[in-house]
């Protein structure tokens, strides 16, 4: 009779059943002005993965399962680098130096007026035209451990690029962990007083980007918002959401809200975040797939945008045209036009101080 080493067999079984360590891999995706652009894939032990490129820090894909275990990409993205280089509506990128709008394309800091590029009417949006952060090729490094895979991106923005003072040094860490969280950690320093407002501009679509998001349900845990004028510039008021279409404190179907807001949402909500630990501020749910996305952040505001300005000129990986309401954005941020409103949380960054932000997008099933 043949003797079997049961201890050795059990060890083999346990090893084969043990979860795999999260991984990170890369492929060369192209070149921009002699700089190499790579596409990095972070994968966790549960089978979730995210594709990120060091061109603009763009989240190209975020693949998560539905209630039946079927994987699909839940962010709007393009198929290759050339499509991004041809221009796009900030799909998945790191936005800065100043996310959102600055009225009149100017601000005053310490008695000095700074003029920016007017790239949305007479106003400034998302950091400018030629030298904003989403157009830069960032330096990148990768690491992983038993719980997460991390892509670290770094870039600099020179003094007076797009009109902003100070040499700015920025680091962004994308972390995909085994809790199915895509964490984004930002830090930045400057050598002159400046203003700074960074965000990620991913468009989420929990159907797997196959249909629009009008059937999605949303919650935003905010009692107040900043109303805007006809140019989407804050009036300076902070108003309660009670009795308005902006009250999203209960599960609300996006399509139902569009009846009162034909152009959908493009609004900043005032959050109750008060510490360095991220707070749950918004949730998005697709009843068809069962997919749930939770957004947590340390930022005082979040821009909820339902992509009404997508015009169908770009197609996603499914070959479907990106039209109005194809995505929902949860842009963690400081308030729009804060440098021109002293009653808003300050966006001033001084030498010797460090800008810090953490935002988390967690995927799950509801």
In order, the DSSP letters of 139-198 are EEEEEE-SSEEEEEEEEEE-TTGGG--S-EEEEEEEEEETTSEEEEEEEEEESS-EE-B-
- In DSSP notation, 273-334 reads --SSS-EEEEEEE-TTT-EEEEEEESSSEEEEE--TT-EEEEE-TTS-EEETTS-BEEEEES
User: What are the extents of the domains in the chain?
Assistant: 21-365
**pLDDT tens for each residue of the chain, 366 residues long:** 333 343 333 333 333 444 589 999 999 999 999 999 999 999 999 999 999 999 999 999 999 999 999 999 999 999 999 999 999 999 999 999 999 999 999 999 999 999 999 999 999 999 999 999 999 999 999 999 999 999 999 999 999 999 999 999 999 999 999 999 999 999 999 999 999 999 999 999 999 999 999 999 999 999 999 999 999 999 999 999 999 999 999 999 999 998 899 899 999 999 998 778 999 999 999 999 999 999 999 999 999 999 999 999 999 888 899 999 999 999 999 999 999 999 999 999 999 999 999 999 999 999
Q: How many residues does this entry show for the chain? A: 366
21-365 belongs to CATH 3.30.70.260: no
Residues with a known catalytic role: 201, 331
* pTM for this predicted structure: 0.94
């Amino acid at each position: 009779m043949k003797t079997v080493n049961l201890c050795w067999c059990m060890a083999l079984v346990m090893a084969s059943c043990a979860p795999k360590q999260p991984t990170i891999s890369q492929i060369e995706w192209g070149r921009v002005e002699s700089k190499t652009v790579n596409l990095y894939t972070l994968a966790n032990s549960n089978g979730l993965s995210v594709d990120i490129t060091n061109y603009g820090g763009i989240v190209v894909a975020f693949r998560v399962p539905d209630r039946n275990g079927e994987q699909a990409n839940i962010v709007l993205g393009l198929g290759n680098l050339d499509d991004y280089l041809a221009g796009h509506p900030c799909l998945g990128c790191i936005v800065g130096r100043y996310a959102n709008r600055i009225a009149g394309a100017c601000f005053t800091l310490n008695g000095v007026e700074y003029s920016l590029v007017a790239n949305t009417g007479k106003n400034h949006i998302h950091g400018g035209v030629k030298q904003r952060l989403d157009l830069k090729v960032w330096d990148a490094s990768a690491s992983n451990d038993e719980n997460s895979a991390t892509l670290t991106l770094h870039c600099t923005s020179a003094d007076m690029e797009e009109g902003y003072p100070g040499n700015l040094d920025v680091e962004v860490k994308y972390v995909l962990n085994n809790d199915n969280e895509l964490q984004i950690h930002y830090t930045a320093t400057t050598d002159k007083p400046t203003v700074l407002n960074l965000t990620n501009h991913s468009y989420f679509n929990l159907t797997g980007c196959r249909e629009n998001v009008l059937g999605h349900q949303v919650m935003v845990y905010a009692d107040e918002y900043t109303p805007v004028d006809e140019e989407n510039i804050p009036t300076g008021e902070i108003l309660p959401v009670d009795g308005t279409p902006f009250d999203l404190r209960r599960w609300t179907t996006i399509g139902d809200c569009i009846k009162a807001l034909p152009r959908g949402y493009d609004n900043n909500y005032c959050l109750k975040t008060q510490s360095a630990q991220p707070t749950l501020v918004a949730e998005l749910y697709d009843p068809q797939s069962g997919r749930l996305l939770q957004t947590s952040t340390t930022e005082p505001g979040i821009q909820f945008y339902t992509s009404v300005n997508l015009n169908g000129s770009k197609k996603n990986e499914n070959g479907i045209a990106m039209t109005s309401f194809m995505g929902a954005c949860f842009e963690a941020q400081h308030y729009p036009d804060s440098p021109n409103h002293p009653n808003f949380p300050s966006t001033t960054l001084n030498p010797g101080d460090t800008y810090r932000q953490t935002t988390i997008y967690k995927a799950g099933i509801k």
